[in-house]
Amino acid sequence: MVTIPTDLPRRIARRGLPFLVPWKWRALVRASELGPILLAGIVGVVSGVIVSILAATVQRAHEILFGLAPGTRLSAVGHLDSLPVLFFPTVGGLILAAVTFFASRWRWRKRVPVDPIEANAVRGGRMSLIDSALVVVQNVISNGCGASVGMEAGYTQISSALASRLGVSFQMRRADLRTLVGCGSAAGIAAAFDAPLTGAFYAFELIIGSYSVANLAPVLIASLTATLVSRLFFGSTVALASHGPAMLSFSAYGSALLIGLACAAFGIAVMQGATLFERGVRRSHIPSFLRPAIGGLLCGALAMQSPQVLSSGHGALQLVLGHVFAPEFLLSVILLKSIASAICIGAGFRGGLFFASLFLGALLGQAAALAGLSSLPGAPDANVYAIVG
């Protein structure tokens, strides 16, 4: 007879082994085609709840720190007082450095957190839930203090980590676990942007890395359920709306091609700029615990010229799509936002450039329209070109 030690749960917790669900459930998931789809639905629901909570937390932080009216987006404000704009990003950088320092002092937390892309590429979809929670905390601090970074990194990190932990608990096959991690990323993006197809394509292109019929149903179910849960909290938050013509002329498609090429080149330049600035910061003699604070101070100084550089830019994007601004204003915001994002990423703030890229593309599209594309025969209005960008 085989005896089970009474301290087995404590041994499992100490060794970091995953909790396993009853073997009958595991066998059902592994043998049934509906099993992974049901797990994807669970991932979507949980991700939708978590993304909604994180988004509400960051928005509330903006309202408290910068004195905003309830529901007002930080980047949509036309003017902010100089003191909070300079003070809170700087203090946020100090808090972020302190959190990062104490987390690095943990003996078992010396490793760098693994993102969903690396987890699927080299680790078979396995992610650490504690490391991912640390990334979320750092992302909330960064975005909550007004730094020019998005929350997408935190959304996809925690959603994918929860999906990974769920898949490991069911002892899913390596391919199925990678798909479930992709479902988590898709759910995080879909809930954040109220866009299930965007979340699905994000998962296929970046996380899973391929399109297949077997992956289609779980990823779509996760994206749809996450979107529905997010709408229960916030309602429909569609930002990209246009009243342009139903049919576009041939010249409009040619203009869209030019805008696409210009945005691609500019996007590469922004990413390269962020990388170069990060390398420069690392080679400097500035102590690592002061880098986020200095980056926050510089970001605040840029925000004094244009508050649209703060945070990810949700509110600013809605302004751009709802109004037509002067070319000088558009070009100045493009320059300031690009520099602020590069500074914040390079200084050590945790976040991404996903939504910042959307915002910059909309600015470039509207600027191109005002530069002469809208005057072409059959060309749509500047708002359509902003969406194209």
Domains of the chain by start residue, with CATH: 18-234 (1.10.3080.10), 250-388 (no CATH)
Distance, in Å, from the CA atom of 222 to the CA atom of 229, rounded to the nearest integer, reads 11
Cα atoms in the 13 Å half-sphere on the side-chain side of 334: 22
Classify burial at 38, counting beta carbons within 10 Å of its beta carbon; exposed 0-12, middle 13-18, buried 19 or more: middle
Reported as type and span, the H/E element at residue 99 is helix 82-104
Cβ proximity of 381 and 325 under 8 Å: no
For residue 147, the model assigns a pLDDT of: 92
For residue 6, the model assigns a pLDDT of: 52
Distance, in Å, from the CA atom of 250 to the CA atom of 7, rounded to the nearest integer, reads 73
Cβ proximity of 368 and 259 under 8 Å: yes
Q: What is the pLDDT of residues 202-220, one digit of tens each?
A: 999 989 888 888 889 999 9
For residue 110, the model assigns a pLDDT of: 59
For residue 181, the model assigns a pLDDT of: 94
Distance, in Å, from the CA atom of 241 to the CA atom of 355, rounded to the nearest integer, reads 16
For residue 19, the model assigns a pLDDT of: 67
Cβ neighbors of 96 (< 8 A, separation 6 or more) are 138, 141, 142, 145, 292, 348, 349, 350
Amino acid residing at 384: V
Q: How far is CA 48 from CA 117, 159, 170, in A?
A: 20, 9, 21
Cβ neighbors of 280 (< 8 A, separation 6 or more) are 346
Cβ proximity of 164 and 201 under 8 Å: no
Distance, in Å, from the CA atom of 50 to the CA atom of 58, rounded to the nearest integer, reads 12
Q: Which of 97, 248, 75 is nearest to 150 (CA)?
A: 75
For residue 252, the model assigns a pLDDT of: 76
Cβ neighbors of 198 (< 8 A, separation 6 or more) are 189, 190
276 beta partners? none
What is the reported pTM?
0.85
For residue 247, the model assigns a pLDDT of: 62
For residue 281, the model assigns a pLDDT of: 83
**Residues of the chain whose pLDDT is less than 50?**
1-2, 4, 8-9, 11-17, 107
For residue 13, the model assigns a pLDDT of: 44
